[in-house]
């Protein structure tokens, strides 16, 4: 009898946790970009140019897709989930291409007030890690437990720009961003410990890579080479 009850409890927990994490990610993004993007009506928002609009549409589409896909699995709509999964193959490469184009455009415009080196290293690291974790997730799509954790962690790797726009006091903006971005993957770690009494490989590898990315951004961006790269981008 115990062996029959345990899987049902685990499934119910998954059906709450993973859609909940997707909604949390959506909330993080909405809080960060509410004034500049969501409240003005997204496509009606006064963004610097069409490139930024395309970038925003792609990244927001990914977040909405994550919410939808986790909800479909929770609702046992697995066939529809699998059919929509093709979008998870199409969107990430487009996000990476337009993410880098928007990054270069932002550095040229120097419109964020953040040092160009910090933006370059931070956004590039996040995109690379996102592609790696989502690619791993897609390869592991038939291993549900691994797949769903990597999809959440891969998306969490992109939260830096959104969290950086939260209404932190100016002096606390950088440490606040680091603190929040480092805390978010720990929800997945805690969930593993509570439900399985161990941290799954996908969880600890993904979390470790996110932590390395977060805490390496500042020291790596201080390397002199990035000043030259930023200068070349602005000259081009």
Rounded to whole angstroms, the Cα distance separating 117 from 3 reads 54
9 has a pLDDT exceeding 70: no
Other CB atoms within 10 A of residue 131 CB? 17
Q: 159 in helix, strand or coil?
A: coil
Distance separating alpha carbons of residues 16 and 4, to the nearest angstrom: 20
Residue 109 confidence (pLDDT): 84
8: domain range? 2-235
pTM: 0.91
3-state helix, strand, coil in the chain (%, to 5): 85, 0, 15
Tens-place pLDDT, residues 114-169 = 888 999 999 999 999 999 999 999 999 999 999 999 999 999 999 999 999 999 99
> Residue written as tokens 């830096």?
160
Which residues are CB-neighbours of 140 under 8 A, at least 6 positions away? 146, 147, 150, 202
- Number of folded domains that form the chain: 1
């Amino acid at each position: 009898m115990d062996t029959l009850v345990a899987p049902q409890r685990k499934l119910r927990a998954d059906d709450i946790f993973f859609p909940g994490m997707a909604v949390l990610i959506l909330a993080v993004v909405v809080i960060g970009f509410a004034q500049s993007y969501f409240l003005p009506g997204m496509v009606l928002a006064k963004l610097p140019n069409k490139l930024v609009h395309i970038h925003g549409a792609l990244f927001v589409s990914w977040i909405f897709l994550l919410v939808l896909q986790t909800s479909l699995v929770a609702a046992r709509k697995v066939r529809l989930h699998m059919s929509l999964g093709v979008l998870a193959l199409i969107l990430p490469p487009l996000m990476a291409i337009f993410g880098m184009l928007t990054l270069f455009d932002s550095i040229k415009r120097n419109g964020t007030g953040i040092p160009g080196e910090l933006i370059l290293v931070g956004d590039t690291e996040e995109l690379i890690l996102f592609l790696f974790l989502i690619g791993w997730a897609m390869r592991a799509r038939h291993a549900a437990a691994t797949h769903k954790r990597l999809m959440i962690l891969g998306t969490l790797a992109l939260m830096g720009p959104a969290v950086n726009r939260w209404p932190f006091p100016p002096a606390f903006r950088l440490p606040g961003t680091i603190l929040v971005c480092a805390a978010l993957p720990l929800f997945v770690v805690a969930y593993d410990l509570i439900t399985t009494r161990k941290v799954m490989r996908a969880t600890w590898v993904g979390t470790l890579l996110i932590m390395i990315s977060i805490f390496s951004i500042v020291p790596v961006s201080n390397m002199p080479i990035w000043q030259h790269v930023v200068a070349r981008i602005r000259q081009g």
